[in-house]
């Protein structure tokens, strides 16, 4: 229900926190009493009320979504599906693989040729947080290469390689098969892993994202999705209150 202005009515802060996955209302009251929650920049008091969608609520300095009806999906994107809401060329899109309502959007992107884990949500606060380079969440990929990189090639990936849009940050890189590379990056540049592998002379044949921050799921088959659990959502937003599941 909304008020005459179209805004949601004020709600108790602990209710909003509980909905965002911070635990029972009792646990959320404790978070507030400990001074870890702020509303519009000021440390919140127990009993505070907030206007979902208007008030800015942070826990340990990290903004959280306040609106009801927020959903978070983890999709295993198959090859050939594009990471947009609609494709002018009529290709299948990731939003067609998850429930139609409420409308969600992908957080970050995977190339059409790339497979693997992608988060979709209607939580603009989380999406913005994740998109900010300062919060660079680790992303882990398995890449099948056309040829076998040498120890020197791997060192180049670890030290950062020069691309046409600048040098990459150091990556974690290791061989897990003759031509199979495990690589972890925390930047989100366009076609970054493919371009890094091109730069060391070993183009990618197949690329799969297997982890986003602490979130991985080997049981999710291509085209399948599941809801993220509240602790997973919290861990993505980088709240120190969230348990790491790596």
Enumerate binding residues for ligand URA (CB under 6 A): 110-111, 114, 191-194, 207
CB of 81 to ligand URA, least distance (A): 12
CB of 243 to ligand URA, least distance (A): 27
CB of 215 to ligand URA, least distance (A): 16
Whether 172 contacts 246, CB under 8 Å: no
Of the pair 113, 224, the CB lying nearest ligand URA is at: 113
Tell me phi and psi for residue 138, to 5 degrees: -65, 140
Of the pair 11, 111, the CB lying nearest ligand URA is at: 111
Q: Please, which contacts does 239-245 make with residues 24 or more away whose CB atoms are closer than 8 Å?
A: 239/59, 239/60, 239/62, 239/64, 240/60, 241/22, 241/31, 241/36, 241/59, 241/60, 244/214, 245/214, 245/215
All residues at 6 or more sequence positions from 96 whose CB lies less than 8 Å from its CB, including other chains: none
Of the pair 206, 245, the CB lying nearest ligand URA is at: 206
Of the pair 51, 112, the CB lying nearest ligand URA is at: 112
Supply the residues annotated as catalytic: 111
CB of 153 to ligand URA, least distance (A): 17
């Amino acid at each position: 229900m909304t008020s005459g202005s179209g805004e949601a009515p004020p709600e108790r802060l602990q209710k909003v926190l509980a909905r965002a996955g911070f635990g029972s209302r009792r646990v959320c009251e404790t978070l507030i009493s400990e001074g870890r929650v702020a509303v519009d920049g000021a440390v919140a008091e127990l009993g505070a009320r907030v206007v979902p969608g208007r008030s800015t609520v942070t826990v340990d300095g990290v903004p959280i979504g306040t609106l009801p009806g927020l959903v978070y999906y983890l999709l295993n994107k198959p090859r050939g599906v594009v990471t947009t809401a609609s494709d002018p060329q009529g290709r299948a899109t990731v939003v067609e693989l998850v429930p139609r309502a409420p409308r969600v959007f992908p957080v970050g992107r995977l190339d059409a040729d790339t497979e693997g884990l992608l988060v979709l949500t209607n939580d603009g606060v989380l999406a913005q947080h994740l998109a900010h380079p300062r919060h660079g969440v680790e992303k882990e990929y398995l890449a099948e290469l056309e040829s076998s990189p040498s120890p020197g090639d791997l060192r180049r990936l670890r030290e950062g390689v020069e691309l046409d849009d600048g040098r990459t940050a150091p990556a974690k890189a290791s061989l897990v098969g003759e031509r199979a590379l495990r690589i972890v990056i925390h930047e989100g540049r366009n076609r970054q892993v493919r371009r890094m592998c091109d730069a060391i002379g070993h183009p990618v044949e197949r690329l799969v994202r297997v982890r986003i921050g602490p979130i991985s799921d080997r049981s999710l088959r291509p085209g399948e999705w599941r809801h993220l659990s509240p602790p997973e959502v919290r861990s993505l937003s980088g709240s120190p209150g969230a348990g790491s599941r790596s």
